[in-house]
């Protein structure tokens, strides 16, 4: 057995209406009715969920500030600017409400508002020097699983690359998985965030760092996605499907915390860092070609997955691992996610610079089940042009 560790949020509440617990959770974290930062972005703010939570918290005697200016795929400097604007306001708690960009920003602000001399760049250089403000994470997409990880992803504008800051100090204190908070998610975001969750589960399952704990969650998470993602895509008000997807995404985050993602994420980071392509879309583009590259190294694991997930054969193939990868391709097609880099203005001349940046993501490439050369990376990018 490989050595592995488990880092988890202290509290996880799952179910419709569980956001009503937030005032109680705040008092458990710190027994005074202090000032609360509710952090989100414009898109999620428009759904009314952050306002509803802010009113719930303020009605219980807390002072609340709602900030809804988190950018999509934020650069490090944008996070620093948010921190400078929020410092000296006396915040004692942070509630992050949104997708991965919001939740990751909430993690970083929990540190930056306490360690006031730090910046995102200094955290990257020196690591996180200690604990920060208590956080509550309320995901409104079923994708990143950031609510369950010790990782915050941020884009570096100068390097045109996305990187991860990893520390036990940013594992959220509390998580609420309330499917009612995802009902307003547009169909296209249901699709790409759902495939992002699938990427986390599958990559961690085939990673060199896979272990019995991550395998257990990965298999169950993939089963939930293959049985629920299309239902959530077709009927966004299906609370059972939404709940299954939230749980699958959470499992994906738990897998990342114990295992790791691999080449899909390594190759997608430059697409986000250079072209601001949404993370779930970038992963969906790359998932099938990377899995086709990796398949012969993980045949037995994929066969086990087909059996455990209960997938019905699509192809007339004797090898279930081929059918598994084909099923992924068909799922992405069904969800109508863009699959061509040309849709985002990328051409063949851009591939060398994309490859340069992907090869820098050694933290993830080292976990891939097969070594990946420069020529391999370039060939995968060319396949999705």
List, for residues 86-98, the tens digit of each pLDDT value: 998 999 999 999 9
Q: What is the mean pLDDT of residues 145-173?
A: 93
Same-domain pairing of 172 and 196? no
- In angstroms, how far is the first alpha carbon of the chain from the final one? 40
pLDDT at 315: 64
Asked whether the beta carbons of 325 and 238 are under 8 A apart, the reply is no
370: nearest Cα among 199, 203, 256, 161: 203
Asked whether the beta carbons of 22 and 95 are under 8 A apart, the reply is yes
Confidence of residue 29 (pLDDT cuts 50, 70, 90): confident
Listed in sequence order, the DSSP H helices in the chain are 22-29, 42-45, 49-58, 76-86, 100-112, 120-126, 187-206, 212-234, 239-258, 263-275, 279-294, 299-309, 320-334, 351-358, 362-365, 374-383
Q: What is the mean pLDDT of residues 106-134?
A: 95
In a domain, 314, yes or no: yes
Going 218 to 154 to 19 to 168, the CA torsion angle's sign is positive
Structure token digits, residue 227:
């049985």
Tell whether the model's pLDDT for residue 65 goes beyond 90: yes
Contacts of 304 (CB under 8 A, 6+ apart): 219
In a domain, 5, yes or no: no
Same-domain pairing of 166 and 208? no
- Percentage of the chain with pLDDT > 90? 87
Asked whether the beta carbons of 172 and 282 are under 8 A apart, the reply is no
Q: How far apart are CA 160 and CA 158, in angstroms?
A: 6
Q: What is the mean pLDDT of the chain?
A: 94
Q: pLDDT per residue over 107-116, tens digit each?
A: 999 999 999 8
Q: What is the mean pLDDT of residues 127-153?
A: 95
Confidence of residue 317 (pLDDT cuts 50, 70, 90): low
Q: pLDDT per residue over 235-284, tens digit each?
A: 999 999 999 999 999 999 999 999 999 999 999 999 998 998 999 999 99
Confidence of residue 316 (pLDDT cuts 50, 70, 90): low
Which of 182, 208, 237 represents a domain boundary (last residue)? Answer: 182
pTM: 0.95
Tell whether the model's pLDDT for residue 75 goes beyond 80: yes
CA separation, residue 237 to residues 41, 186, 221, 242, 372 (Å): 22, 11, 21, 8, 42
Q: What is the mean pLDDT of residues 142-163?
A: 92
Q: How far apart are CA 111 and CA 129, in angstroms?
A: 9
Confidence of residue 234 (pLDDT cuts 50, 70, 90): very high
pLDDT at 4: 85
pLDDT at 28: 86
CATH number at residue 239: 1.20.1090.10
Q: What is the mean pLDDT of residues 327-351?
A: 94
Tell whether the model's pLDDT for residue 181 goes beyond 80: yes
Beta bridge pairs of residue 12 = 175
- DSSP-derived letter for residue 344 is G
In a domain, 306, yes or no: yes
Structural domain span for residue 275: 187-383
Asked whether the beta carbons of 261 and 204 are under 8 A apart, the reply is yes
CATH number at residue 115: 3.40.50.1970
Which of 140, 156, 182 represents a domain boundary (last residue)? Answer: 182
Which residue is it, tokens 């409400």?
97
Which of the pair, 318 or 150, is modelled with greater confidence?
Answer: 150
CA separation, residue 50 to residues 25, 133, 181 (Å): 17, 19, 9
Same-domain pairing of 50 and 166? yes
In a domain, 61, yes or no: yes
- Percentage of the chain with pLDDT > 70? 99
Task: State the total domains in the chain.
Answer: 2
Q: pLDDT per residue over 291-310, tens digit each?
A: 999 999 999 999 999 988 88
In a domain, 134, yes or no: yes
Q: What is the mean pLDDT of residues 207-231?
A: 97
Q: What is the per-residue burial (b if ≥16 Cβ within 10 Å, else e) of 180-214? A: bbbbbbeebbbbbbbbbbbbbbbbbbbbebbbebb
Same-domain pairing of 252 and 364? yes
Same-domain pairing of 147 and 245? no
pLDDT at 203: 98
Which of 162, 182, 202 represents a domain boundary (last residue)? Answer: 182
């Amino acid at each position: 057995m490989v050595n592995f560790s488990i880092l988890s949020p202290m509290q996880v509440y799952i179910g419709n209406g569980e956001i009503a617990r937030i005032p109680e959770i705040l008092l458990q974290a710190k027994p005074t009715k202090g000032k609360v930062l509710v952090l989100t972005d414009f898109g999620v703010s428009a759904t009314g969920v952050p306002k509803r939570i802010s009113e719930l918290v303020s009605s219980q005697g807390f002072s609340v500030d709602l900030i809804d200016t988190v950018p999509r795929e934020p650069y490090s400097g944008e996070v620093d600017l948010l921190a400078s604007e929020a410092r000296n306001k006396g915040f004692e708690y942070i509630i992050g409400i949104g997708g991965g960009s919001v939740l990751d920003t909430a993690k970083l602000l929990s540190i930056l508002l306490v360690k006031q001399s730090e910046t995102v760049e200094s955290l990257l250089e020196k690591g996180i020097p200690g604990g920060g403000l208590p956080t509550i994470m309320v995901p409104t997409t079923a994708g990143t699983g950031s609510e369950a990880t010790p990782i915050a992803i941020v884009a570096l504008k100068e390097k045109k690359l996305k990187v991860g800051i990893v520390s036990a100090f940013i594992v959220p204190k509390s998580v609420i998985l309330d499917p009612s908070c995802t009902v307003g998610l547009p169909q296209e975001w249901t699709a790409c965030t759902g495939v992002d969750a699938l990427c986390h589960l599958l990559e961690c399952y085939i990673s060199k760092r896979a272990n019995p704990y991550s395998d257990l969650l990965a298999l169950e998470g993939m089963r939930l996605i293959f049985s629920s993602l299309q239902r959530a895509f077709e009927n966004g008000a299906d609370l059972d499907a939404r709940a299954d997807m939230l749980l699958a995404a959470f499992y994906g985050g738990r897998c990342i915390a114990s295992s790791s993602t691999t080449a899909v994420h390594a190759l997608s980071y430059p697409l986000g860092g250079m072209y601001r392509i949404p993370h779930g879309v970038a992963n969906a583009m790359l998932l099938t070609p990377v899995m086709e590259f990796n398949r012969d190294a993980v045949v037995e694991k994929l066969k086990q997955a087909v059996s455990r997930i209960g997938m019905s054969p699509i192809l007339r193939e004797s090898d279930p691992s081929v059918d598994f990868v084909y099923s992924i391709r068909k799922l992405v097609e069904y969800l109508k996610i863009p699959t061509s880099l040309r849709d985002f203005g990328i051409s063949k001349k851009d591939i060398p610079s994309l490859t340069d940046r992907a090869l820098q993501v050694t933290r993830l490439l080292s976990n891939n089940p097969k070594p990946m050369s420069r020529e391999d990376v370039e060939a995968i990018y060319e396949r999705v042009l």
